[in-house]
């Protein structure tokens, strides 16, 4: 039987997506090795587990989990030997059935030292804990600040010291914090376990002190070994700094699980949930629906059917503002409000063609009203981004596109229900902002391997930058041949394309993870579950909005 052109296109898209997913997985496998096999072997020789082994032992067997920032530091700090996963592993998972976030220093990466991205990643973990009243468990094994880059990690507001400020704030908020010292814990870092609710230390391998034995000798002339200075016996029998003396990593993790098992439940945010149902469309159909060429249109509603329960949703204002789809649905049983960019070319009420992925005045107006409705009904919001920006030109300007765009941004920015963002394809310019980019506090923000985040697309940006470069060279008297112009264009575009890739975004924590599209339901479901731990602290109020 002959295969239709539509089926061929679907199969081509599916193959391309699978290749992208495989490429992501290959890079992750390298990252999971941390500082390499030799350093892992040295760790094992000391009787210690790796960061990932500790987390695996801590979390409930076979339970779902989300790793945050696996690509942090990717392609960065090469002159310093690299920093896989930012030197720290962060996972949202379950301990004794209770959802929590785990932060584990990777001692195979520069002895767990803190690079600038390490600090940013740790702060992201604490942000998630504070936003969602989520218990946080620290598995400490770090040599402290990476001294060659101390000026980029030590003194500023969002640097190393902010960690301990957050410890204090979280304590006042009643957020459970447990710290296990399973290796080095030195200098300013020594405050983290002590500012947590309870602390554990592993005998013979865990140490805590403001200054190690060499520095003590240099500073005050005292001769003492590190174990006597700040080991497990010292801190559980003499100083009282730690609460539990563990014989080894396994014993330490067993004690943490026993503590977590006794933690009581608190009042939740009341988000609605019913028994979960799988979509009627296959989850993997998203592979074939999304075109490999991002300029091609597709029906966003078909993607939504692959994500929501029973593939059913109730569309809001279906025939108005068609370049944004707003819909009520359920994801893994949770009630959600979906705001998604429609990528099909559509007609408005006047019969005018509207480009897919572009936000027009009517679309912005509709989305703003829908976001307000979701806040009124206490329904979490899910943003599916594939947006090239707001419509430009005299017609749009005269119709008040800036006013309508501002209305949407205002409604979204002031939202008190949790927001979750999935970057499906394009995430350009002000469209990134209006569709809840990182700057607008989504509880989680992830990207598919097809994601691109930038002021504008690679070709458009390269053409703009090329004009500037050519004008500059001509002003200096250089003759620009067509061949030279193409060479300049290719060079500019290549550099720009590398900066808009999902890897670049994930390495800098603009997104929390690059995920297989079939994991979208899991990420949103676990995200709403953690958000449900904390009620909104204020009423929904959008302030002044021009109508």
For residue 38, the model assigns a pLDDT of 95
For residue 354, the model assigns a pLDDT of 87
How would you class 436 by CB atoms within 10 Å of its CB: exposed for 0-12, middle for 13-18, buried for 19 or more?
buried
In the predicted model, residues of the chain with pLDDT beneath 70 are 1-2, 188, 458, 545-547
How would you class 446 by CB atoms within 10 Å of its CB: exposed for 0-12, middle for 13-18, buried for 19 or more?
buried
**Residues in the chain, how many?**
547
For residue 408, the model assigns a pLDDT of 95
Phi, psi of 266 (to 5 degrees): -120, 170
Can you tell me the distance from the alpha carbon of 506 to that of 80, in angstroms, rounded to the nearest whole number? 20
How would you class 277 by CB atoms within 10 Å of its CB: exposed for 0-12, middle for 13-18, buried for 19 or more?
middle
- Residue in 294, 301, 286 with CA at minimum distance from that of residue 342: 301
Can you tell me the distance from the alpha carbon of 426 to that of 428, in angstroms, rounded to the nearest whole number? 6
Can you tell me the distance from the alpha carbon of 17 to that of 516, in angstroms, rounded to the nearest whole number? 9
Q: Looking at residue 235, what DSSP letter applies? A: I
pTM here is 0.94
Q: Which residue has the tokens 């924590």?
A: 509
Helix (H, G, I), strand (E, B) or coil at 446: strand
| For the chain, percent of residues with pLDDT exceeding 70 | 99
For residue 496, the model assigns a pLDDT of 78
Helices (H), 33-175: 37-45, 51-58, 116-132, 161-173
Helices (H), 174-315: 191-194, 213-220, 226-230, 232-233, 249-261, 285-289, 300-305
For residue 480, the model assigns a pLDDT of 80
- The tokens describing 146, both together, are 């990476």
How many Cα atoms within 13 Å fall on the side-chain side of residue 117?
28
Q: What b/e sequence results for 175-194 when a residue is b if at least 16 CB atoms lie within 10 Å of its CB, and e otherwise?
A: bbbbbbbbbbbbbebbbbbb
For residue 372, the model assigns a pLDDT of 96
CB contact set of 26 (below 8 Å; sequence gap of 6+): none
Residue 390: strand pairing partners: 359
For residue 244, the model assigns a pLDDT of 97
- pLDDT per position as a tens digit, 182-212: 999 887 677 888 899 999 999 999 999 888 8
- The tokens describing 69, both together, are 């920032």
Can you tell me the distance from the alpha carbon of 339 to that of 382, in angstroms, rounded to the nearest whole number? 6
For residue 352, the model assigns a pLDDT of 84
């Amino acid at each position: 039987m002959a295969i239709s052109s539509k089926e061929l296109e679907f199969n081509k898209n599916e193959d391309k997506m699978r290749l992208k997913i495989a490429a992501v997985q290959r890079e992750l496998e390298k990252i999971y090795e941390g500082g390499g096999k030799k350093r892992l072997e040295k760790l094992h020789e000391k009787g210690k587990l790796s960061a990932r082994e500790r987390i695996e032992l801590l979390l409930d067997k076979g339970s779902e989990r989300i790793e945050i920032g696996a690509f942090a530091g990717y392609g960065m700090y090469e002159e310093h030997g690299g920093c896989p996963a930012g030197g720290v592993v962060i996972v949202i998972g379950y301990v004794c059935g209770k959802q929590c976030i785990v932060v584990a220093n990777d001692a195979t990466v520069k002895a767990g030292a803190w690079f600038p991205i390490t600090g940013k990643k740790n702060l992201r973990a604490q942000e998630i804990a504070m936003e969602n009243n989520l218990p946080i468990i620290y598995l400490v094994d770090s040599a402290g600040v990476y001294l060659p880059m101390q000026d980029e990690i030590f003194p500023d507001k969002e640097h190393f010291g902010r960690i301990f400020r957050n410890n204090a704030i979280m304590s006042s908020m009643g957020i459970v914090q447990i710290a296990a010292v399973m290796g080095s814990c030195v200098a300013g870092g020594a405050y983290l376990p002590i500012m947590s609710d309870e602390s554990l230390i592993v005998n013979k391998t865990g140490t805590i002190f403001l200054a190690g034995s060499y520095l003590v000798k240099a500073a005050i002339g005292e001769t003492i070994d590190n174990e006597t200075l700040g080991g497990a016996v010292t801190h559980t029998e003499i100083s009282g700094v730690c609460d539990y003396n563990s014989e080894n990593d396994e014993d330490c993790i067993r004690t943490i699980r026993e503590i977590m098992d006794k933690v009581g439940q608190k009042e939740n945010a009341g988000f609605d949930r019913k028994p979960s149902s799988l979509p009627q469309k296959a989850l993997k159909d998203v592979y074939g629906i999304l075109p490999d060429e991002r300029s091609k249109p597709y029906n966003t509603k078909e993607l939504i059917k692959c994500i929501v329960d029973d593939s059913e949703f109730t569309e809001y204002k279906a025939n108005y503002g068609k370049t944004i789809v707003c819909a009520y649905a359920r994801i893994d049983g949770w009630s959600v409000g979906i705001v998604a960019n429609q990528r099909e070319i559509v007609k408005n009420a006047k019969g005018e063609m509207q480009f897919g992925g572009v936000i027009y005045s009517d679309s912005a107006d509709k989305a703003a009203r829908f976001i307000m409705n979701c806040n009124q009904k206490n329904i979490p919001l899910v943003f599916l981004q594939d947006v090239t920006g707001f419509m430009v030109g005299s017609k749009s300007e005269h119709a008040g596109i800036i006013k309508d765009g501002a209305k949407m941004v205002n409604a979204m920015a002031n939202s008190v229900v949790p927001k979750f963002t999935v970057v499906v394809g394009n995430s350009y310019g002000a469209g990134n902002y209006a569709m809840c980019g990182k700057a607008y506090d989504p509880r989680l923000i992830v990207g598919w391997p097809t994601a691109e985040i930038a002021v504008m697309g690679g070709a458009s940006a390269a053409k703009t930058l090329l004009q500037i470069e050519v004008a500059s060279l001509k002003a200096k008297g250089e003759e620009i041949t067509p061949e030279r112009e193409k060479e300049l264009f290719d060079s500019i575009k290549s550099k720009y394309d590398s900066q808009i890739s999902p890897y670049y975004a994930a390495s800098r924590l603009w997104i929390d993870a690059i995920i297989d599209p079939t994991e979208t339901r899991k990420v949103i479901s676990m995200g709403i579950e953690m958000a449900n731990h904390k009620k909104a602290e204020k009423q929904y109020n959008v302030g002044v909005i021009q109508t």
